[in-house]
A and B are shown apart, each in its own frame.
Chain A
Amino acid sequence: MTEFALETSNLTLSFGSLHVMKDVTLRLQAGARHAFIGPNGAGKTTFVNLLSGVLVPDRGRILLMGEDITHQLPERRVKLGLARTFQVNNLFRALTVLENIYLAISEHRQASRDMFSAAAHRRDILERAEKVIERLGLTEDIHRRVSEIAYGRQRVLEFAIGLSLEPKVLLLDEPTAGVPSAEIGSLLDTINRLPTETAILMIEHDMQVVKRFAREVTVLVAGEVLMTGSPEQVMTSEEVRNVYLGQSGYERFATNTIGA
């Protein structure tokens, strides 16, 4: 029985009398391509915050590669192989693309303990950084400051940082949020080029992106899992249609019109 890359069981969280998460159980295998959808306020970002350690659940467990990380600090989880990207870019804005990735790789390789050699002389870090940058098509912007590059490229940089950490599980929080429609296509290509062994959990609103990316979809409503299934199953489900997509949304969907 293969170990799941990521597993949560009965994850529950309340803020006072407000239940934000109730008995959420999820299983991700290595290489998974899993989308998390649901109406606004359903708790999707809360879920990611619980997974990454920003929040601590009242009940339930989180297992990463079989290890219980429910109460571990965020830094520990990253070290154990869990990385996340942010809905709103959370980059080192005054630094260049190269420096952003350098930081991530340096931390991942424990190189940041090196207090003596010149940062630029660490060929090992620089080579890996260049590889990541190339793989995600950021070579053009390599020496530009983050604040100076297009928003869509910044989103890609978010992935690049996540990738640099060589995670076993990657959490993408609304990767296409705020990205101009012209750039979504290339962003999707980038996502599809992510390593196949990495389990990826993506939170998304854009159904087209979900269709092109996901092999499995979970629908979250008011902090509870409504259903989990293949994209087709979810999109043709009556329950989901009623609660989330609404009649018009379903129709738009089913007829496959792409906005971008």
Chain B
Amino acid sequence: MDQVLSATSFIVIYGLSYGVVLFTISVGLVVTMGLMRVVNLAHGAFAAIGGYIAVKLMSEMNVSFPLSVAIAVLIAAAISVVIERLFYVHLYKASELDQVLMTVGLLFLAVASLNLFFGPNALSIKLPEFLAEGVHLFGRSVQSYRLFVIACGAALMLILWFILDLTSFGAKLRAAVDNRGMAEATGINVAQLFSLAFALGSGLAAFGGAVGFAILPLEPMYPFKYLTLVLIVVTLSGFGNIKASAAASVLVGLIETAGRYLFPAFGAFIVYFIVIGILMWRDRRLFLGWVGR
């Protein structure tokens, strides 16, 4: 019984923290996809940028963890504004295929650049002292880091809720997600909104990459490696639906962790099957209706 409790708590805590990192990284994409309808396969690059900057600041310049994260997020957001104006503006009216192709190209460029600046090796995971301590929970020693990440996720949800539900920026954003034409007609500067939303999304991703540096280790292939998982979260959550993306991220995090722990032979498989299953289930009525007739 102890074993089951211990295993469950492991899966829950590690799965949850994994899911939270996924959430932070993916939520930006959920927002930008919902708003700009752009399939952005290069999104993970900003998470990587955030992570790399934060880790480098901590390890080489001895900057504190919170400050490193903050600086990383700001730099990533700044870079994203430039990238958006240079490349993404051309994609808003483009076909899906064009979007996929260009963002895949940007993805490759990002990976190659990361390698150029930071070298091909994965960064070592050295947690700052106050996070490396173990906390005793359910008969296990859990890194307080994991709990810290979960707390960050909860805080983030609150902040996002605040921004989206209580500020005028959020209101405009939601209006534009709902009905772009009408939003424009009411005088909302959609181009500016897009840039801001893109910066927000990229900043969030950077936050995830920075805070989650010990869960998702940083290496040049980072944006590529976690692309599938991020896309899974986005697909499961639908356009611009943040609450659903939180649920989806946690679900994926838990399944991944549980799968690796309980069925190491199958590993990644399980998530893929489950995702397809969820997609089919979600659309079963439409699907059956179409096939049946």
A adjacent to B, CB under 8 Å: yes
Question: How many residue pairs at the A-B interface have CB separations less than 8 Å?
Answer: 4
Shortest C-beta distance, B199 to chain A (Å), equals: 36
Interface: A111 (CB within 8 A): no
A242 contact set on B, CB distance < 8 A: none
Interface: B285 (CB within 8 A): no
Interface: B136 (CB within 8 A): no
> Which residue on chain A has the smallest CB distance to residue B290?
A73
A76 contact set on B, CB distance < 8 A: 293
Shortest C-beta distance, B201 to chain A (Å), equals: 32
Which residues of chain A (37-85) have a CB below 8 Å from chain B?
72-73, 76
Shortest C-beta distance, B207 to chain A (Å), equals: 38
Shortest C-beta distance, A243 to chain B (Å), equals: 29
Shortest C-beta distance, B178 to chain A (Å), equals: 15
Which residues of chain B (264-293) have a CB below 8 Å from chain A?
290, 293
Shortest C-beta distance, A64 to chain B (Å), equals: 15
| Distance, CA A76 to CA B290, complexed state (A) | 11
| Distance, CA A260 to CA B290, complexed state (A) | 47
| Distance, CA A76 to CA B289, complexed state (A) | 13
Shortest C-beta distance, A79 to chain B (Å), equals: 11
Shortest C-beta distance, B244 to chain A (Å), equals: 22
A73 contact set on B, CB distance < 8 A: 290, 293
A72 contact set on B, CB distance < 8 A: 293
Shortest C-beta distance, A134 to chain B (Å), equals: 36
Shortest C-beta distance, A1 to chain B (Å), equals: 30
Shortest C-beta distance, A228 to chain B (Å), equals: 32
| Distance, CA A73 to CA B293, complexed state (A) | 8
Which residues of chain A (232-256) have a CB below 8 Å from chain B?
none
> Which residue on chain B has the smallest CB distance to residue A72?
B293
Shortest C-beta distance, B289 to chain A (Å), equals: 8
Contact with B along A23-35 (1 / 0, CB 8 A): 0000000000000
B293 contact set on A, CB distance < 8 A: 72-73, 76
B290 contact set on A, CB distance < 8 A: 73
Shortest C-beta distance, B260 to chain A (Å), equals: 44
| Distance, CA A100 to CA B290, complexed state (A) | 26
Shortest C-beta distance, B287 to chain A (Å), equals: 13
| Distance, CA A73 to CA B286, complexed state (A) | 11
| Distance, CA A1 to CA B112, complexed state (A) | 77
| Distance, CA A76 to CA B292, complexed state (A) | 12
| Distance, CA A125 to CA B269, complexed state (A) | 50
| Distance, CA A72 to CA B290, complexed state (A) | 10
| Distance, CA A73 to CA B290, complexed state (A) | 8
Shortest C-beta distance, B167 to chain A (Å), equals: 28
| Distance, CA A72 to CA B293, complexed state (A) | 8
> Which residue on chain A has the smallest CB distance to residue B293?
A73
| Distance, CA A207 to CA B158, complexed state (A) | 59
| Distance, CA A76 to CA B293, complexed state (A) | 9
> Which residue on chain B has the smallest CB distance to residue A73?
B293
Shortest C-beta distance, A93 to chain B (Å), equals: 15
| Distance, CA A199 to CA B293, complexed state (A) | 26
Shortest C-beta distance, B22 to chain A (Å), equals: 35
Shortest C-beta distance, B95 to chain A (Å), equals: 14
Shortest C-beta distance, A154 to chain B (Å), equals: 23
| Distance, CA A207 to CA B290, complexed state (A) | 41
| Distance, CA A72 to CA B289, complexed state (A) | 10
Shortest C-beta distance, B73 to chain A (Å), equals: 41
Shortest C-beta distance, B152 to chain A (Å), equals: 39
Residues of B bordering A, CB below 8 Å: 290, 293
Residues of A bordering B, CB below 8 Å: 72-73, 76
* Listed A/B pairs (4) with beta-carbon separation below 8 Å: A72-B293, A73-B290, A73-B293, A76-B293
Q: Which 4 A-B pairs have CB atoms at the shortest separation, nearest pair first?
A: A73-B293, A76-B293, A72-B293, A73-B290
